[in-house]
Amino acid sequence: MKQHLSHISIINGEIFLPGDKSISHRALIFSALAKGRSSIKNLAESDDVLATINCLKGLKVKIQKNQDVYIIQGVGRQGFKKPDVPLYCGNSGTTTRLLSGVLAAQDFPSEITGDDSLSRRPMKRVIDPLEQMGCTIKSEGGKLPLHFLPTGDIKPIEYKMPVASAQVKGAVLLAGLHCKNTSTLIEDNLYTRDHTEIMLNLPVDIIGKKKVIKVSGSYFPTRGKYFIPGDISTAAFFIVLTILAKNSVLLLQNVSLNKRRTEFIEILKNMGAKISLTHKGESYNELYGDIYVESSDLKNIEISTELIPAIIDEIPILSIAGAFAEGEFSIRGAKELRIKESDRIKSICSNLKIAGFKTIEFNDGFSFDGKIEKGYQTFESFGDHRIAMAFSVLACLKKEGSDVNRFECVSVSNPDFLNQLELIKA
Ligand code: S3P
């Protein structure tokens, strides 16, 4: 579906966003594993999170919504039941990889499938460590569908992460919960988002540049009452729109302020953005609070490759900030962008070309310079929600507005994107 986005001249308002996607997936899975009734407030209701709910229901977990609270009847250790049909993860890499860690430890067979985009994404990165832990997973070329054979006992592992991926880390840690003995996971100099380890309260040591995480059956989750802070990656689109629109202010309330997720805010601040954060509370070690943003003039800066895992989902919208900032924008060390919901290096560059920029594509990033061309343009989402929303922001900033093709994919993380835009424009 082609969506027209009209020009927005001023942003002025406040907004509460639905729960963070990464935290929502984990709260659901931990609640399903724990024995007894758990509740989750402000759960994201995007397609990706609904995929996790449906897969858990496929494993015979009872999940229902009472007013605005999700109630999960957790099944406890080895309480999942063999699904009657393959577990369909839709577009959701997080559902696939986190659930792989759980399915790897079950004594029944199961199968995971997904949509076309997910079926092109690499799964060998979870198959390898899980097979080292004693599970057998059949696949063709490390792609979906994945067939999990029944596993007797999961073995502990000492695993040094070969790729910077929080999803892979989550899979190994979730499998490690099913084993009495301790597993060790090491991230070397490339720290990914830390929701799994902090929400489960796992012991973490920093040794030089290494992060060492331990997990064992004694950290198996118990039932809980979760509050999911607003999605900081969704907030990023509104933050950048406010910075770039003139005479604008926006207050985002109760958003996740997890340190490994707010790194893009530090980058924007270093580019000259006026943003302030106020901490208000925490739930399961996840910090949250308010973000206040004002229109600002930006200058492009060098972005360290060490920060890439922490800003991986925000690179599409950071590049829109870069398009309006003084100087050249450049991102390197971000090869992982090629295997997201689309090849994001290609998706960003081809849309920036449409917008009138001179772009250079590298294997691990891109750079661009120039000015936005006047006139009405049509951007491509490539079926990728973050590309659709990033170029919607660009479209709203153009005097003439613009179109975004295959816009419906925004529902993967934020079905309410258009309503939220309406709400905050002056
Ligand atoms: C996620 C991890 C990231 C991110 C994704 C969500 C998670 O992927 O891109 O949107 O919740 O663990 P990686 O596995 O590449 O870190």
Q: Which domain CATH number covers 365? A: 3.65.10.10
Question: Which residue, of 157, 189, 220, is where some domain finishes?
Answer: 220
The ligand 1 atom at the shortest distance from the C-alpha of residue 164 is 16
Question: Do strands 249-256 and 12-16 pair parallel, antiparallel, or not at all (unpaired)?
Answer: parallel
pLDDT (tens digit per residue) in 95-129: 999 999 999 999 999 999 999 999 999 999 999 99
Measure the CA–CA gap between 382 and 346, rounded to whole angstroms.
Answer: 10
Domain stop point among 220, 249, 265 = 220
Catalytic member of 128, 313, 364, 384: 313
Is the pLDDT at 152 greater than 90, yes or no?
Answer: no
What's the token pair of residue 362? 């590298």
CA of 167 to the centre of ligand 1 (A): 5
Which residue owns the Cα nearest ligand 1 atom 11? 22
Mutate to test the pocket of ligand 1, among 190, 211, 286, 312 (most ligand atoms within 8 A of CB): 312
Backbone phi and psi for residue 379, each to the nearest 5 degrees, phi listed first: -95, 155
- Both 26 and 10 in one domain: the answer is no
Q: Are residues 257 and 270 in the same domain?
A: yes
The answer to the question of residue 225 being in a domain is no
Ligand 1 atom 5: the closest Cα is on which residue? 94
Residue 170 Cα: closest atom of ligand 1? 12
**Span from the CA of 78 to the centroid of ligand 1 (angstroms):** 26
Q: Is the pLDDT of residue 363 over 90?
A: yes
The model's pTM is: 0.98
Render pLDDT for 62-85 as a digit per residue (tens, 0 to 9). 999 999 999 999 999 999 999 999
Q: Is 313 a catalytic residue?
A: yes
* Span from the CA of 6 to the centroid of ligand 1 (angstroms): 31
> What separation, in Å, do the N-terminal and C-terminal C-alpha atoms of the chain show?
27
Q: Using CA atoms, how far apart are residues 231 and 233, in angstroms rounded to an integer?
A: 5
| 419-424, long-range: CB < 8 A, 24+ apart | 420/15, 420/17, 420/238, 421/8, 421/241, 421/392, 421/396, 423/13, 423/15, 424/11, 424/12, 424/13, 424/14, 424/15, 424/238, 424/242, 424/250
Residues 56 and 100 in one domain: yes
Give the binding-site residues of ligand 1, using a 6 Å CB cut-off.
22, 94, 165-167, 170, 192-193, 312-313, 336
The 10s digit of each residue's pLDDT in 22-53 is: 999 999 999 999 999 999 999 999 999 999 99
pLDDT one-digit tens code per residue, 301-342: 999 999 999 999 999 999 999 999 999 999 999 999 999 999
> How does residue 352 score in pLDDT terms, banded at 50, 70 and 90?
very high
Q: Are residues 216 and 67 in the same domain?
A: yes
Q: Same domain for 307 and 414?
A: yes
Tell whether 160 and 257 lie within a shared domain: no
> Where would I find the beta strands (DSSP E) of 208-247?
210-215, 225-227
Ligand 1 centroid–CA 313 distance in Å is 8
**If pLDDT is split at 50, 70 and 90, which confidence band does 237 have?**
very high
Mean pLDDT computed over 161-190: 97
Summarize the confidence of residues 239-258 as an average pLDDT: 98
Domain residues for 253? 3-18+230-424
Q: From ligand 1's centre to the CA of 168, what distance in Å?
A: 9
Which ligand 1 atom sits closest to the C-alpha of 21? 11
Neighbour count for residue 338 (Cβ, 10 Å):
15
Q: Is residue 183 domain-shared with residue 288, that is, in the same domain?
A: no
Give the span between the Cα atoms of 373 and 3, in whole angstroms: 20
Q: Residue 159: name the closest of 98, 201, 210 by CA.
A: 210
Does pLDDT of 379 surpass 90?
A: yes
Give the Cα separation of 392 and 370 in Å (integer): 19
Q: Return mean pLDDT, the chain.
A: 97
CA 374 to chain centre: 33
Atom of ligand 1 lying closest to residue 98 CA:
12
Cα–Cα distance between 372 and 201 in angstroms, integer? 47
pLDDT value at 190 more than 90: no
Number of domain units in the chain: 2
The CA distance from 328 to 213, in Å, is 38
CA of 400 relative to ligand 1 center, distance in Å: 35
Among 193, 194, 199, 409, residue to substitute to test ligand 1 (most atoms within 8 Å of Cβ): 193
Report which protein residue has its CA nearest ligand 1's atom 13.
Answer: 165
Cα 341 from Cα 387, distance rounded (Å): 9
297 and 324 in one domain? yes
In 10 A of CB 78, how many CB atoms? 11
Q: Give the atom of ligand 1 at the shortest distance from the alpha carbon of 26.
A: 11
Pocket test for ligand 1, best of 165, 185, 232, 339 (most atoms within 8 A of CB): 165
Same domain, residue pair 156 and 280: no
Domain identity same for 386 and 240: yes
Among 192, 196, 199, 263, residue to substitute to test ligand 1 (most atoms within 8 Å of Cβ): 192
**Residue 166 C-alpha to ligand 1 middle, in angstroms?**
5
Q: Which of 189, 220, 251 is the last residue of a domain?
A: 220
**Buried b / exposed e along 197-220 (16+ C-beta atoms within 10 A):** bbbbebeeeeeeeebbbbbbeebb
pLDDT of the residue at 319:
98
**Average of per-residue pLDDT across 180-207:** 96
Looking at the CA of residue 97, tell me the nearest atom of ligand 1: 14
256 & 291 share domain = yes
Looking at the structure, tell me whether residues 180 and 297 fall in a common domain.
Answer: no
Contacts of 201 (CB under 8 A, 6+ apart): 219, 285
